[in-house]
Amino acid sequence: MRTMKLGTSTLEVPVVAVGCMRINSLEKPEAERFVQTALEEGANFFDHADIYGGGTCEEIFADAIHMNDDLRENVILQSKCGIRKGLFDFSKEHILASVDGSLTRLKTDYLDVLLLHRPDALVEPEEVAEAFDILESSGKVRYFGVSNQKPMQIELLKKFVKQPLVANQLQLSITNATMISNGINVNMENDPAVDRDGSILDYCRLNDITVQPWSPFQYGFFEGVFLDNDKFPELNRKIDEIAEKYEVTNTTIAIAWLLRHPAHMQPVTGTMNVGRLKDCCKASDVHLTREEWYEIYRAAGNVLP
């Protein structure tokens, strides 16, 4: 597995992260096989959140990987906090309690990375800064980042938070690529020109913040996958054509499309299927040409100005 630096951190991470949101759908032997396969593929970066399965996903993962001190140094654990039932919460009290809960469930003394989940409209960045300072000084969290945040929200945090924000987890796929499309359609009077996120992609590149695309196979908001979907015949024909050329699956090409972008993204997989996980990891070795990247982009229904 090819590796990269995560943001401005010293962490050397695989270019594909393993999302664990659905690991609670697996029986223990299946979960063990899934985690072991990820490690064998060099995909040792595992993404969690305190709300996944109400916390059970972190517990199941820790049991499946047979967490111990020696193993811990060979895996990279990222978790997220800030979503509560019916509200978002970036208060100092909640952040600290959430991290302690994740550490207990993951059977570890520290998180490599903590991300603030969905933006909290009532955020008091001074409290976030206090929480981050406590977590860093205690050794409970080594690096920090955000999820689903736009530039000015990040700038507000940076006014008070002294730690670098190394990652921003954002929804992005071939069919959910508005953050790319609005940069292509500058000064155009069409829908793709609408900037819905404050040019977050360019902002992250300018500030060395790693973009972590989530739901890389989804269209809409969890409406389904676009691969092998009759709703996207032209896109699937093009992906299958390119997959045949590289002798890989369509899953591999969908991830390779994201990895081809010069922002040096780190896609977060969501599959619990061992075969598809392997296919995701193979994308590390596929480098699409500029022509192929644009062909896939256009086949998804995007029109160049």
Summarize pLDDT for 271-288 with one digit per residue, the tens.
999 999 999 999 999 999
Would you kindly state where each structural domain of the chain is located, as residue ranges?
A: 3-299
Report percent pLDDT > 90 for the chain: 98
Residue of 18, 10, 63, 11 whose CA lies nearest to 40:
18
State residue 204 phi and psi, 5-degree precision: -65, -40
CB-side neighbour CA atoms (13 Å) of 10: 1
Report the chain's mean pLDDT, rounded to a whole number. 97
Q: Which residues of 54-209 form beta strands (DSSP E)?
A: 76-81, 83-84, 87-88, 111-116, 141-147, 165-171
Token pair of 246 as six digits: 């590289």
Catalytic positions, please? 52
Q: How many CB atoms lie within 10 A of CB 129?
A: 18
Write out the DSSP string of 36-92: HHHHHTT--EEE--TTGGGGHHHHHHHHHHT--HHHHTT-EEEEEE-EETTEE---H
Inter-residue contact 55 to 101 (CB < 8 Å) = yes
pLDDT reported for residue 156: 98
Report the pLDDT value the prediction gives residue 250, as an integer from 0 to 100.
Answer: 98
User: Distance between CA atoms of 47 and 18, rounded to whole angstroms?
Assistant: 6
- pLDDT for 79: 98
How many Å apart are CA 269 and CA 271, to the nearest integer? Answer: 6
**Average pLDDT in the 67-93 region?**
97
pLDDT per residue over 199-217, tens digit each? 999 999 999 999 999 999 9
pTM of the model: 0.96
156-170: pLDDT as tens digits? 999 999 999 999 999
Topology of 3-299 in CATH?
TIM Barrel (3.20.20)
pLDDT (tens digit per residue) in 87-127? 999 999 999 999 999 999 999 999 999 999 999 999 999 99
